Structure 1
Amino acid sequence: MRQPPSGAKAVGLAYDHFYIPKGGKLYIYNEYRTQVLGAYDETTNPSGGLFSTELVQGSIVNIEYVAPKNLPVKPIKNEFKGNVEGDKISPANFTIKPENPRIDISELIYVYRNVPFLDRYDLTKTTGFGASGSCEVNVNCSEGASWQTEKRGVAEIWLKNGASWGWCTGGLVNTTNNSGIPYFLTADHCHGLPDAGEPYASAADMNQWQFYFNYESATCANPGTEPAYNTIIGCSLKACSPLNGGSDFCLVQLNTTPPQSYHPYYNGWDRTNTPASSGVGIHHPAGDIKKISTFTAAATSSTFNGGTGMVSATNAEWNVLYVATANGHGVVEGGSSGSPLFNQAKRVVGQLSGGNSACTNLSGSNLYGKFWYDWDQTPGGTTTQLKTWLDPVNSGSTTVNGYDPFNGYPDFYATPTTVYEGGSVNFTDITNGATSWSWQFEGGSPATSTVQNPTNIVYNQQGTYRVSLTTTTPLAGTQTIEKVGYITVLPGSPNVSIWCDDFSNTSNWSIINHSGAANQVWKITTAAPTGSYSATNPGKVNSTSGGNYALFDSDGLTTTNVEQWSSIQTTSGVNCSNYGQVILKFTEAYTKFYDSTLLYVSTDNFATSTRYVLHDGFANNQSVGN
């Protein structure tokens, strides 16, 4: 199935029934197949049928189902009508049917504004991503060095409310008994603003909320390409306190517990009404990668006032002033709502309601609903307070530390994970507190190792291979992790450059005039284009080869209205017959004029050749660049 173009920047899908039988696989991808979601299989089937999948870049979405070789079957209504005779059953008396997938799309979501984290899939996009303000600070800058554990619990939310979708932030929170239940705290106004005319999201809507973990730059700088992330789909409401008259919290339980590969962390909290003396906010402003904002003065009690239907309970909010730091001046923006406020002890003390800080208003307010008020101050009990959910053993604790459910469990990464035949891979153990290691490298040589960080594991055969690591730690004992299909080995060898020319030496090129107009020829030059083709006019040509150009500037060379046809050919070419595949790359800029640009390819040293039209002539001179 292919959804036709809509002109949107991205397309999302929601389902009122989503079922994949065992062995089946569903893939969703964009026009260029640069973004592939899936495979969705029987392990991703939601319990109630309602489901949603991530946004797909562009206006075209393709849905592909791969059926298992042998369709699984099941008895109709689970009834058995066979005859049992001793140890034999007559199959003629069974009533069975094959299991087929059921994918009922209930909604197509068209996004017409830029979605920064999808930019990396857009082959036509030439600019970088980043919808947040330029003053924001990436979480892996020096400001976040002391918050590397806590950041793992913070995630972006792509949430649905009726026909609308939008961004918020929130985070995993711990319980007094370290239960590992995936409770996730965000702002209630992300859930809805019923007193301001926006009904709450339904249970069906929340089953399609999407939670993006680890969406962040690996370094302090904004990356050149969008980073990957990990996704959880769907949640259920546990408790909430409205923004109007309450403290603006919403506690949900994720439909799926984040696995070890997500490196989840359940943040601790402080439910006292004690102001934080310093701390940070970690958030996803404008749906962008994870950022960090820092405050150094004590939080003050405040009341949020956003107008009719959006006034919090008196002094139910903390207000903090974010300050300039080494790499910027963090603030909050749309999309930051619901993000956690951490105190100096690295415990959550609130969730963001809003404020008026911005990169253009650095000293603005930043108001967070108090965790103290969230705990038990909103009348109503279980459905309006955190207490029942986060203190299931009724311990009465006022503070709780964070919890790492996989602390002491084995984990590792490899560099690189894709090699050519004969390539080598290095492995790094990141297990906390391991005292012994046992590695298994499927397809690798050597195939085993007992050192902590094995290096130069060689893979000689094309394929995908699993890697397993067994460790022993005081906390977790002996445990094993296996990453299936983790190493990819490609056939042959990597691409190598066999020829390159940057037009710096004119003798490397010959120019042939085909039309009889001698001055209608290519020009190898270090001089930039002039006249209407200059860098300050439409159709500009900017050098990508150190200031050297090959120009065919017919208007600049003659005023005679004659046929203009000449070709340029290298005199220093190479024989490519020994290569299985050859890729030619070059950059061209041209004005949309009458001219055509052609490329000739030959397999017999140009005794004959094949002509390729790079771009054809235009019917009319458009006098604009391309």
Structure 2
Amino acid sequence: MKLQQAIALAFWSLICVNGLHAQTLHAEGDKTIPLVEVNAPNVQHLWNRAYWHEENTGKTMQGEILSASFDFFELADALTTEEGIVWTLRVRVEDAPALCVYFESFHLPMGSSLTFQSEAGRFSSPYVEGPIDYTENNDHGRWVSGEVPGEELVMRYTQPADVVGAPELHVNGIGYFFRFLWLDGEYDLLAESYRGSDPCQVDVMCPEGDDWQCQRDAVVRLRVSQNGGIYLCSGAMVNNTSQDCKQLLLSSFHCADEVDDNGWSLLKVRYNYEYFECEGSSSFNSHVRTGVFYLTGSDDMFGNNINGSDFLLLEVEDPVFDSWTPFYAGWDVSGSNPSSGVGIHHPSGDRKKISTFTTTAANSSAYHPGAHWRVYWQETATNHGVTEGGSSGSPLFDQNQRIVGTLTGGASFCDSPNAPDYYGKMSYHWDGNNPISDEEKLYHFLDPLETGLEVLDGSYVTDLEVPCAEQTVCGAVEVEEEWLIENTWSIRPNPARDRAHVDWSGEVQAAELRFYDALGRPVAQFDVRQMAVPSADLTGLVPGLYYVTLETAAGATATRKLVIN
């Protein structure tokens, strides 16, 4: 509509770039941001492809990678000032619920930044990813953005005048998302409600998750790009006998069996994707790493059949910061049947959920003789958690809070909650008869010291010489988080105007206050370790609803709501 109105006052320059249309509109005294238009896919064909994969390969399709090839700097508008240069370019795919951008040549000089933003005026406040900086650079030069809602996004690259070096931003694809977007509030153009996955699922922040807070911090959401499609799975960070906090990620092989050599660098790992509270509607502004190294896998997909235990082990490329509180989960490869436990997962890519079992898992040959556990879920106080597409690859924790399996598939749904699910056994991943060489079996990677251990506990990262060996850390955090949940701590006054204070009693040492807006975006943080009375200056925050997270020195967290007038 805006373009049609402007045609009467303007003339078009049109360039054809590999089947794309790059348009620049010159109006009287003003030049709008150049636009690259990419042809929209046939959405019904996407749904047909998604249904086929769900029935035949167990994959959960979220989107498609559209063909595109252009150099950002050749098409972008450049604005030069004394402070530096800003390049801006729009990308549009008609009727897209969300888009992302794939780069085959990506390099940002130190001091420069790149942002992705929703179309101006599309939402009450723009959705912004970034600023992205040089820390996302890698030798291979590939990178992909997150999902930006709407049919149009704005790419903006800023290079201050004192920055040295030449950027590279060559685009080789545009991701089109047609389902399972799960952004908060108005940004989720696909949500029928803000709840996300099927209604019987249990949020990990509900009481069922109270005893599994460390294990919760191990579970991640995966966005996998393969064979022209975009897919969702789950996984977990895992410990190894070196206890060096090596960034190992365990999932299921069928989640990524079509990923090519370049595709591993485009896999996105999302940490801390969960609601603030049980059955909430706003989630934490989670953290994302782009790119992994393939280490090993069961290589057991033949045709559309799984002929093994279905495991995948990856290493996250870039640093996973301690401040993200990653937990490196423990494991049990003894093969003992777990008597009870939980599965923690991202059903349909939604925020983290928890499903509980209280009946001993049985041996199963549903996929391959002796390679899987059969698990039945139990109804709990909140609801009857099950699994969905997107849960694949998620860990099964036993009664001792160690991983004993990874999800391959099953029949549990909200309308059939008593049907079983099947988890590839850790013991079979370890040294079972998967169609791989002995050197590719899991024990070579999780027991690099050749200790012969069958059981290893998990750990948060510590400042000890052996950073993932302090098994008491998890217990200490759980004790403090339980204390924060069971004891009333408050932020006052509430509503507040210019300043808020935090009150509590006991020996728990507060470290930081973090403020998030109603959409889960971080807006302020305060180090309160040196404050006699922990407080926060609110003068820079606009009126509205906020979530305030208190973090202790040991890493425990709890969240309260605050209204600012």
TM-score bin (small chain): 0.5 to 0.7
Q: More displaced, 183-192 or 41-50?
A: 41-50
The one-letter code of the counterpart of 1:202 is: D
Residues 1:4 and 2:121 aligned together: no
Q: Equivalents in 1 of 2:131, 2:512: separation in Å?
A: 30
Q: Equivalents in 2 of 1:325, 1:400: separation in Å?
A: 29
Residues 1:396 and 2:396 aligned together: no
Kindly provide the CA deviation profile for residues 138-173 of structure 1, in whole angstroms up to 9, marking residues without a partner as x: 111111111011100001111111201111000001
Which residue in 1 is equivalent to 2:145?
A: 53
Q: More displaced, 106-115 or 206-215?
A: 106-115
User: Contact between 2:226 and 2:260, CA under 8 Å: does it hold in 1?
Assistant: yes
Which residue in 2 is equivalent to 1:112?
A: 178
Classify 1:334/1:126 alpha carbon distance in 2 versus 1 (closer, same or farther; 3 Å). Answer: closer
- Aligned ranges 1:74-473 → 2 under 5 Å: 99-117=165-183, 119-122=185-188, 127-192=192-257, 200-221=258-279, 223-241=280-298, 242-243=300-301, 244-304=306-366, 312-377=367-432, 378=434, 380-381=436-437, 384-406=440-462, 423-426=498-501, 450=530, 454-458=533-537
The one-letter code of the counterpart of 2:395 is: P
Q: Is there any run of 5+ residues in structure 1 with no aligned partner, and where?
A: 73-98, 193-199, 305-311, 464-468, 477-493, 496-626
The one-letter code of the counterpart of 1:49 is: G
Classify 1:460/1:114 alpha carbon distance in 2 versus 1 (closer, same or farther; 3 Å). Answer: closer
Q: Equivalents in 2 of 1:397, 1:67: separation in Å?
A: 52
Which residue in 2 is equivalent to 1:22?
A: 110
Q: Is there any run of 5+ residues in structure 2 with no aligned partner, and where?
A: 1-88, 463-472, 514-523, 543-549, 556-563
Which residue in 2 is equivalent to 1:537?
A: none
Residues 1:41 and 2:133 aligned together: yes
User: Contact between 2:528 and 2:535, CA under 8 Å: does it hold in 1?
Assistant: no
Kindly provide the CA deviation profile for residues 258-285 of structure 1, in whole angstroms up to 9, marking residues without a partner as x: 2122110000000011100001100111
Q: Secondary structure at the match of 2:249?
A: strand
Classify 1:114/1:344 alpha carbon distance in 2 versus 1 (closer, same or farther; 3 Å). Answer: closer
Q: Equivalents in 2 of 1:332, 1:438: separation in Å?
A: 35
User: Contact between 1:415 and 1:425, CA under 8 Å: does it hold in 2?
Assistant: no
Classify 1:2/1:128 alpha carbon distance in 2 versus 1 (closer, same or farther; 3 Å). Answer: same
Q: Cα distance, 1:182 vs. partner? A: 0.7
Classify 1:233/1:426 alpha carbon distance in 2 versus 1 (closer, same or farther; 3 Å). Answer: farther
Q: Secondary structure at the match of 2:148?
A: strand
- How many residues are aligned here? 422
Which residue in 2 is equivalent to 1:533?
A: none
Q: Cα distance, 1:392 vs. partner? A: 1.1
Kindly provide the CA deviation profile for residues 573-598 of structure 1, in whole angstroms up to 9, marking residues without a partner as x: xxxxxxxxxxxxxxxxxxxxxxxxxx
User: Contact between 1:171 and 1:184, CA under 8 Å: does it hold in 2?
Assistant: yes
User: Contact between 2:511 and 2:527, CA under 8 Å: does it hold in 1?
Assistant: no
Q: Equivalents in 2 of 1:343, 1:203: separation in Å?
A: 34
Q: Cα distance, 1:250 vs. partner? A: 0.3
The one-letter code of the counterpart of 1:231 is: V
TM-score in terms of structure 1 length:
0.61
Q: Secondary structure at the match of 1:149?
A: helix
Q: More displaced, 313-322 or 112-121?
A: 112-121
The one-letter code of the counterpart of 2:175 is: I
RMSD across aligned positions (CA): 3.8
Q: Equivalents in 2 of 1:102, 1:355: separation in Å?
A: 45
User: Contact between 1:238 and 1:383, CA under 8 Å: does it hold in 2?
Assistant: no
Classify 1:455/1:204 alpha carbon distance in 2 versus 1 (closer, same or farther; 3 Å). Answer: same
Q: Cα distance, 1:119 vs. partner? A: 4.7
User: Contact between 2:253 and 2:312, CA under 8 Å: does it hold in 1?
Assistant: yes
User: Contact between 2:340 and 2:399, CA under 8 Å: does it hold in 1?
Assistant: yes
Kindly provide the CA deviation profile for residues 488-525 of structure 1, in whole angstroms up to 9, marking residues without a partner as x: xxxxxx76xxxxxxxxxxxxxxxxxxxxxxxxxxxxxx
Higher strand content, 1 or 2? 2
Between the aligned residues of both structures, percent identity stands at: 29
Classify 1:344/1:43 alpha carbon distance in 2 versus 1 (closer, same or farther; 3 Å). Answer: same
Classify 1:48/1:300 alpha carbon distance in 2 versus 1 (closer, same or farther; 3 Å). Answer: same
Classify 1:458/1:116 alpha carbon distance in 2 versus 1 (closer, same or farther; 3 Å). Answer: closer
TM-score in terms of structure 2 length:
0.67
Classify 1:292/1:461 alpha carbon distance in 2 versus 1 (closer, same or farther; 3 Å). Answer: closer
Q: Equivalents in 2 of 1:295, 1:462: separation in Å?
A: 44
Q: Equivalents in 2 of 1:142, 1:461: separation in Å?
A: 35
Classify 1:6/1:140 alpha carbon distance in 2 versus 1 (closer, same or farther; 3 Å). Answer: same
Q: Equivalents in 2 of 1:60, 1:43: separation in Å?
A: 26
Classify 1:114/1:284 alpha carbon distance in 2 versus 1 (closer, same or farther; 3 Å). Answer: closer
The one-letter code of the counterpart of 1:235 is: V
Q: Equivalents in 2 of 1:319, 1:253: separation in Å?
A: 28
Q: Cα distance, 1:458 vs. partner? A: 4.6
Q: Equivalents in 1 of 2:355, 2:540: separation in Å?
A: 48
Kindly provide the CA deviation profile for residues 228-280 of structure 1, in whole angstroms up to 9, marking residues without a partner as x: 21111110110100253211000000112321221100000000111000011
Q: More displaced, 5-14 or 399-408?
A: 399-408
Kindly provide the CA deviation profile for residues 385-407 of structure 1, in whole angstroms up to 9, marking residues without a partner as x: 11111111111110000011045
Q: Cα distance, 1:352 vs. partner? A: 0.2
Q: Secondary structure at the match of 1:396?
A: coil
